[in-house]
Amino acid sequence: MAHPTPAPPPRRSPARVLFGAVAVVLARSRFLVLVCGLLGLIAVWPFARAYWGKLTRPDPAAGSISSDTEYWCPMCPGVVSAWPAKCPVCFMGLVRRQKADMTPLPDGALARVQLSPYRVQLAGLRTAPVEYRRLEYEAVVAGRLEADPKGSAAAPGFLLVGDVFDRDAALVSPGQEGAVACDACPGESFVGRVLEVVPGPSTRVRVRVDDPRGDLRPGAYAAATFRTPAAALPAFRRLEQERWRDALALTVAPSRTAGVLLDAAARQAAARAGLTLCVPEPAVIDTGTRRVVYVETMPGTFDATEVVVGRRCGDFYPVRAGVEPGQRVATAGAVLLDAETRLNPALAATYFGAGAKAPTPPVPSAPASPDAEDARLAARQKVCPVTKEPLDSMGGPVKLVVDGRVVFICCKGCEKAVRAKPAEYLRDLPQ
């Protein structure tokens, strides 16, 4: 019996064959396609991001941003931007202000300097606290030993008579004891007691030196050192009494009474314990007319504050007014902060946020104020064609006529460049 001939398989169309081949290739190379796609996305991402930022960025012509306004951070006055943004230090939203406006300073601050962490490290700035310490002044009485006519075998002793400086006259008083060193007995110390202080053109002090072991000899050179705490001086006591009196007189508001009286009581207790409020010697900048310290109000921000200090005692100055306990002042690098505000006060007034309470308007460099038509043209031009800065940034605008066209520049220094290449600088200005 003959077998039937099988039917030929259905013929596939070329399109189906091509689709199947492509499907096989994609199935085998899907990981390669995925990797290539990711690499392509990474390559075009910067361009896509820049294009998206261009589409979503506010239009300067809309009026929200102009050449006479800027954005600054109230917490970090040194952060200034021409666009709305967030502060890179504290992440607060920047506040809009006029460029002519200056940052108001707190009461008592003469100037403000704000530095980035990099500049703080570069300048080697270091701070130290304003704190209470036991400061002692030294008064030295030097001279030759003389035999004490009132001495006896039971209480042998000598007399030391010498002069002290006028500034040290208040540091010695009758009955005060001190240490006496003698060249004839190196390494040994004797007890000296002030017998008499004779005021005059040169204050003379008579000191009795006890010699229980009989080591001293008449005519030997000796020096007596007397230490007096700064808190025990009459001027310091009088200052603390006046401060206590003022604290009681100013506590009118009941809400502030407890805090003011507690602070005054703490000062009185420290004075009775012989402690004095002081600042390190490198922190005080003597300008000739005043003494200034730079108080760190926040990280990287320093306020120049005038202080009233007493006579230096070792490595510290006793403070009479200007700073409070717990504040930190710049020690290493304080001279650099002072030089920053002195050498470039304009920069400190804008970038660093320092300014006077009542700033005076700058004197324009133009000989005369422009008329209404010139003011309209200057407002339309806005920026200098040479520096690309606002026309009033250098005291302008300054009016020029170049090739029959009225042009404004920020200062007279730009005139030479505009006249040398007028086509290059005037092509981008509004007609």
Q: Is the pLDDT of residue 206 over 80?
A: yes
Instruction: Please answer whether residues 282 and 272 qualify as being in contact, where contact means their C-beta atoms are separated by less than 8 angstroms.
Output: no
Q: Cα-Cα-Cα-Cα dihedral of 152, 157, 158, 160, to 10°? A: -140
Instruction: List, for residues 154-191, the tens digit of each pLDDT value.
Output: 667 888 998 888 888 888 889 889 999 998 888 888 99
| Percentage of the chain exceeding pLDDT 70 | 78
Q: What span, in angstroms and rounded, lies between the C-alpha atoms of 284 and 288?
A: 12
What are the Cα distances from residue 181, in Å, to 22, 158, 209, 223, 224?
107, 13, 10, 5, 6
pLDDT: which is higher, 190 or 64 = 190
Q: What average pLDDT does this structure show over 14-29?
A: 76
Q: List residues bridging with 294 in a β-sheet.
A: 304
pLDDT score for 223: 92
Select from 66, 88, 65, 63 the least CA-distant residue to 78. Answer: 88
Of the candidate CATH numbers 3.40.640.10, 2.60.40.10, 2.60.120.10, 2.40.30.170, the domain formed by 138-230 belongs to: 2.40.30.170
pLDDT score for 2: 55
Pick from 209-218, 219-228, 421-430: least confident: 421-430
pLDDT score for 429: 77
pLDDT score for 155: 65
- Is domain 102-134+278-358 given the CATH code 2.40.420.20 in the classification? yes
Instruction: List, for residues 46-60, the tens digit of each pLDDT value.
Output: 888 877 877 776 554
What is the CA angle 272-173-270, rounded to 5?
Answer: 10
Compute and round to an integer the Cα radius of gyration of the chain. 40
Q: Is the pLDDT of residue 345 over 80?
A: no
| Spans of all domains in the chain | 64-100, 102-134+278-358, 138-230, 233-274, 372-426
pLDDT score for 221: 92
Q: What span, in angstroms and rounded, lies between the C-alpha atoms of 76 and 89?
A: 7
pLDDT score for 364: 42
Note whether 102-134+278-358 and 138-230 share their fold: no
* pLDDT grade for 349, boundaries at 50, 70 and 90: very low
Q: What average pLDDT does this structure show over 395-405?
A: 78
Q: What span, in angstroms and rounded, lies between the C-alpha atoms of 11 and 9?
A: 6
Instruction: List, for residues 81-104, the tens digit of each pLDDT value.
Output: 778 888 887 788 888 877 655 566
